[in-house]
Chains A and B, each alone.
Chain A
Amino acid sequence: SQQGEEDPQALSIQEGENATMNCSYKTSINNLQWYRQNSGRGLVHLILIRSNEREKHSGRLRVTLDTSKKSSSLLITASRAADTASYFCATDRSYSGAGSYQLTFGKGTKLSVIP
């Protein structure tokens, strides 16, 4: 079952511009994570934000989380051609009183950064 949905599906920008990707989800979460995937490769973890956090930074990445709107955004500042990849959000479903080991991924945003 799909939990997170990224928007837009595809994004094309010029090098040096900022890229913003959004993720919406449906049910309560413990945390939300963003991953990157270069074409034909495995996914690489970028950043994790917990449900009690509102914003987090890592280098050129900035992630926000709005639990009231059930949404998150990933901002990549000063984009580079090497940032060209697909970006996925993943949510850890929150089950009261039970363990939750699963991450559910969205379908991804395909980012193209043009040199």
Chain B
Amino acid sequence: DVKVTQSSRYLVKRTGEKVFLECVQDMDHENMFWYRQDPGLGLRLIYFSYDVKMKEKGDIPEGYSVSREKKERFSLILESASTNQTSMYLCASSLEGGFSERDSVVSGELFFGEGSRLTVL
């Protein structure tokens, strides 16, 4: 079974602190993702990576950065945490799902970690 492990289930940080959220997957997946989930807003994509040292901005990258130095590990960094970054953070990984009829690469099934609930005071 694919396992995606997030380093912390619960964190409490103070405004201005630097926060690292770590995610490790054990199935050699190319793609890794960071989402945040907030009530009424659903899941929103922060950043994703389709290869080592590669990263792409998602829908809400402001205030976040990421690092992928090894294929199995994808880190989310909050350089200076703010109260509006209090949220549930979900990491996911996937293989590519093959190609569409138009020869574009399609997303495969995502495997999620258990989530990291961050509170910024």
Interface residues of A (CB under 8 A from B): 1-2, 30-31, 33, 35, 40-45, 48, 51-52, 88, 90, 92, 94-108
- Within B85-104, the residues touching A (CB, 8 Å) are 90, 92, 94, 96-97, 100-104
In B66-121, the 8 Å CB interface with A consists of 90, 92, 94, 96-97, 100-115, 117
Closest partner residue, chain B, to A106 (CB atom): B42
Contact partner of A100 (CB less than 8 A), chosen from B43, B59, B107, is B107
Q: Which residue of A is nearest B112, CB measured?
A: A42
Q: Is B25 an interface residue (CB 8 A)?
A: no
Chain A at the B interface: mostly helix, strand, loop or mixed?
Answer: loop
Cβ contact within 8 Å between A30 and B59:
no
Cβ 8 A contact of B106, one of A40, A43, A97, A100: A100
A96 touches B114 (CB 8 A): no
Contact status B109-A33, CB under 8 Å? yes
Known interface pairs A1-B59, A42-B113; A92-B43 also in contact (CB < 8 Å): no
A41-B114, A105-B42 known; A96 and B104 CB under 8 Å?
yes
Which residues on A sit within 8 Å (CB–CB) of B92?
42-43
Residue in chain A with minimal CB distance to B50: A101
Tell me whether B42 and A2 are in contact (CB under 8 A): yes
Number of A-B contacts (CB under 8 A): 89
- Contact indicator B111/A88 (Cβ below 8 Å): no
With A42-B4, A43-B43, A103-B107 known, 15 other A-B pairs at CB within 8 A are A30-B100, A33-B107, A41-B114, A42-B92, A43-B112, A44-B112, A45-B111, A94-B102, A94-B104, A97-B103, A97-B104, A99-B50, A100-B104, A101-B107, A104-B59
- Which residue of the partner chain, among B48, B103, B113, contacts A101 with CB atoms under 8 Å? B48
Contact with A along B11-50 (1 / 0, CB 8 A): 0000000000000000000010101000011110100101
Taking CB atoms, residues of chain B closer than 8 Å to A2 are 42
Q: For the complex formed, measure the closest distance between the CB of A91 and the CB atoms of chain B, giving whole angstroms.
A: 9
Query: Is B105 within 8 A of A101, CB to CB?
Result: yes
> Looking at the complex, which one of B56, B105, B115 makes contact with A42 (CB distance below 8 Å)?
B115
Shortest CB-to-CB span from A102 to chain B, Å, is 6
Q: Nearest 7 pairs between A and B by C-beta? A: A42-B112, A107-B42, A99-B105, A105-B43, A30-B106, A92-B107, A30-B100
